[in-house]
Chains A and B, each alone.
Chain A
Amino acid sequence: MTHKLTRRSVAKGLAVSAVALALPAIGRAQAKSVKIAMIAPMSGPWARQGQLLRMGADLAVEDINARGGIKSLGGAKLNIIYADAGDSTEKAKNAAQRLVADNPDLVGGTGSWLSSFTLAVTEVTERAQIPWLTLSYSDAITNRGFKFVFQTSPTADWQAAQTVPTALDLAQSATGKRPTTVGLIMDNTAAPTSFAKPLREGGFEKAGLKLVVDQIYTPPLSDATPLIEKVRSAKPDFLLLLTSAMPDCKLVLEKLDEFKLSHGKIPLVGNGAPFGSPELLKTIGPELLEGMLFSVANWPMKGQEEFIERFKKKTGEPFLTQDALCGYGHPAILAEALEAGGAADKIKVAEAIRAMNLTTGPAAQCFPGPIKFDEKGRRVDVPMIFAQWQKGVPLTVFPTDLALATPVWPSV
């Protein structure tokens, strides 16, 4: 900028300065701030999720800017704008289209929690060539041959393949016996469906498990009695719960307790962040949850202790969960990409993400495993995290190098 000014005549220079002063936003935008976006449900039934994502993102942008912004862009500040995906795919798509149309200078974004929303939103962002990060992991998202969509959660296939053997190992080390039969309770939303598919198609067999209870329900669950009745009669050695909504988790867990199948009677492993939500704690209470194990794509890990405390203090949340953590991590990844790319240009940011292989730094600290995407935009070879409720807080217990606590298998 300065370069250009000295080249002009005084009159022109004055004119340009006048313009630059009169339209400060434009002048500053080019050097002083970079824009990213988050589209998440902020009203409607999933508003809580959007709220958590936003908390994380706000904190991330704050931290990044406090550290000096994007240094390779001259200390440009990161600026995040939010749009409400609402309660329908139509609203989500509209939000995406509006965001893209109103902000041609968008260099990256993240969202939208619900996989169908993410699908709709990324149709728009892909066309606009805006690199997009998401924690949704249904297969369809990265099966479309898109170049600008990046999933930070490992694929459902991978998660399933990681969850079951590890759970079995943990069960064996706790009870001395390796389970041979398994029960599966899940809802029919996209994520659990993707997770269970490879298991039914040989995954269970490979792990030496026979599926003796296989129940799929449509959320929201009205009453868990018939479900758990089936569990009671089939008596599987081990129960896998893929209930992706917290109210359903509560019904299933309480019903298990009612049927005297909890507290280790039938070892169980859940999958998904709702199993670790503060809402679950508030509605069920810490005693029933004690020792409950669940696998999840991302959870607060070793090395984040200070960050966790800071988050709790700032937001008042009792503990950090996946949504807020990814909400924090995604802008961090975008910041890294901006640093690497060296330009406030969405194509360069996308290229930088594709070339990424982060193992250190603020972004890498937010996710287990290196941040590296394959040509479909998926992360590969990342460890599956297991967390366990201990004294009213869900803490990462596995893998050991990322753990914040040691796993305890509830004794019968």
Chain B
Amino acid sequence: MDPTSKTAILYLENINVSFDGFKALNDLSLSIRPGEMRAIIGPNGAGKTTMMDVITGKTRPDSGRVLFNDIHNLARMDETDIATLGIGRKFQKPTVFENHTVNDNLLLALSDGRGVWDTLFANVGSREAERIDEILQIIRLSKVQGEYAASLSHGQKQWLEIGMLLAQKPKLLLVDEPVAGMTDSETAETARLLKEISQQHSLVVVEHDMDFVRDLDVDVTVLHEGAAIAEGSLDYVSKSDRVIEVYLGR
């Protein structure tokens, strides 16, 4: 695929990041089509989280470009600007606001004004309530909407966080290890949830759990030592010698 064509919502070009001499990302290039859900897999230390950090502005790359919608170079923007562009990120550890109710967590994430005066004089009305109800149904938390996020189970927190991403009406969702620490039934439910979401959003999912990735049934990119070593369907990449060597070779 021609990387400069207008068919990529996210395009990473020759990204390099090193921490104290350790190359976390090594000339990484990657392209995500609009509307696509892509799974990123790779062993520990392959650079998955660093890649997310680069896309969301938490880490500046030493070199390379990150293009969003072919126009914005994310490598030069900060977290807030990138979030405002429509890139939402779900963290590995669920970080919801524990001292807020499920409802308020979603309210804060809704794509309304983010300025101090917007919120100081905000009137929370029925429009917001409707949108929140809608999301609560998608993430299956309608029954606990009035409870503090601190009292949710681990799986519920993960879903709440996904809901918060949806509330931001993002153009691209980055989901970091969504099923880590989940029970089997929660994992299966999460796969269904993400597929439902992918009908309307572009998604990048980083995950270790192979069964889960199989459930998602999407194209996979395999990272190793900061570079993409294979790309395609899960069956296709699992036949690649390089992937077998990385995963099974040691």
A and B associate in one complex = no
Interface on B for A, CB 8 Å cutoff? none
